[in-house]
């Protein structure tokens, strides 16, 4: 089953295999979602729901999951077709996140669907990274932050426009453009919302970093865990 979890659909087609990681990734999406939310709700019991939701959205994003995957050097074991290899897909956050989810689905199924075993294993390897990411405030809702900045400076909101959507329906990558006055940034993600967040993050960091620093110093949020 681990072999299936590591097999990209392009490689399966190239080798005429009857398996790839997509079905496991479908299950793993929910498994990993649960494992992360379980940690969040246990370790940050006094965090408001709105911030829990923002933290969850960040922690289940392809960027964060791909970082967890790289901790296990997952990129070194993925089976890809030659064409996808040439495109550099081995280190694609989208592919790494999908394979990471597929691996956890495989572990879950192989354990006899024992969620307790999976929880213990997941926490042993990744709980520290998840807690640290939340404590550092890496889950910032950049769209909200950018909107607050632009409304205070210009009395207007940023605009977001879908530039393109690439890939098959089950694995699309969206590109969104964020505009503020004469400034423009692009963001990519597996969902439009994620792409918007990335575009907003680039806008804040590239053009309004000083405002962000003043904002975080003035009202820095220290998540409480008890």
- Which of these is catalytic: 25, 29, 62, 98? 29
What is the C-alpha to C-alpha distance for residues 52 and 44, in angstroms, rounded to an integer? Answer: 8
- Which of these is catalytic: 25, 62, 98, 101? 101
For the question of residue 148 being annotated catalytic, the response is: no
For the question of residue 128 being annotated catalytic, the response is: no
Contact 63, 144 (CB under 8 A): no
* β-sheet with 183-189: strand ranges across: 159-166, 173-180, 183-189
Which residues does the annotation mark as catalytic? Answer: 29, 101
């Amino acid at each position: 089953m681990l072999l299936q979890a590591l097999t990209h659909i392009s490689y399966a087609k190239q080798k005429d295999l009857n398996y790839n990681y997509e079905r496991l990734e479908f299950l793993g999406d929910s498994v990993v979602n649960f494992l992360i939310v379980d940690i969040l709700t246990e370790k940050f019991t006094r965090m408001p729901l709105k911030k829990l939701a923002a933290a969850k959205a960040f922690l289940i994003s392809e960027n964060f999951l791909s970082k967890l995957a790289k901790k296990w050097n997952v990129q070194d074991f993925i089976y890809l077709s030659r064409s996808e290899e040439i495109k550099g897909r081995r280190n694609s956050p989208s592919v790494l996140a999908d394979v990471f989810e597929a691996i956890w689905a495989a572990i879950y199924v192989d354990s006899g669907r024992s969620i307790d075993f999976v929880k213990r294993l997941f926490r042993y390897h990744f709980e520290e990274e998840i807690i640290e990411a939340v404590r550092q405030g890496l889950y910032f809702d950049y769209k909200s932050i950018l909107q607050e900045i632009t409304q205070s400076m210009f009395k207007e909101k940023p605009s977001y426009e879908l530039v393109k959507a690439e890939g098959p329906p089950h694995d699309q990558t969206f590109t969104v453009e964020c505009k503020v006055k004469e400034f423009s940034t692009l963001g990519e993600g597996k969902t439009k919302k994620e792409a918007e967040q990335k575009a907003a993050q680039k806008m804040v960091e590239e053009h309004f970093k000083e405002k962000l620093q003043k904002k975080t110093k003035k009202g820095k949020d220290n998540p409480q865990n008890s």
